[in-house]
Amino acid sequence: MNPTVNTAGPCIEAHPAGQGVLLQVCGKQVACPICGETGFAARKVMLNTRKLTFFNLDFLNKTATIYRCLRCSHVLWFED
Ligand SMILES: [Zn+2]
């Protein structure tokens, strides 16, 4: 069994591999733009902050999926 991890966006796929996931966007394998690593740690995050609420920008209160490079910790963000 190799289930696809819950991800953002219609053409984003994350496949479990080793300690993290391999990320594919629209069928293209994604490597870290900094160091070239292909393993990422996936995590869901909330985008809402008190500051956004203060400025009446609640529509920006969304979730995103972040992919943190396992080698250099660079983070790729994808809004849900
Ligand atoms: Zn990296």
For the chain, the structural domain boundaries read 12-79
Two tokens, residue 43? 């995590």
pLDDT at 23: 96
* Best CA proximity match to 20, nearest among 70, 66, 77: 70
Q: With bands split at pLDDT 50, 70 and 90, how would you rate the model's confidence at 40?
A: very high
Question: pTM to 2 decimals?
Answer: 0.73
Question: What's the 7 CA to ligand 1 centre distance in angstroms?
Answer: 20
pLDDT at 58: 63
The larger pLDDT score, comparing residue 80 to residue 72, is at: 72
Question: What's the 31 CA to ligand 1 centre distance in angstroms?
Answer: 8
CATH class of the domain comprising 12-79 = mainly beta
Report yes or no: 23 and 11 within 8 Å, Cβ to Cβ: no
pLDDT at 1: 38
Q: Which helix (H) or strand (E) holds 15?
A: strand 12-17
Report yes or no: 34 and 52 within 8 Å, Cβ to Cβ: no
Question: What's the 47 CA to ligand 1 centre distance in angstroms?
Answer: 23
Question: What's the 33 CA to ligand 1 centre distance in angstroms?
Answer: 7
Q: With bands split at pLDDT 50, 70 and 90, how would you rate the model's confidence at 67?
A: very high
Question: What's the 79 CA to ligand 1 centre distance in angstroms?
Answer: 20
For the residues 12-35, what does the mean pLDDT come to?
95
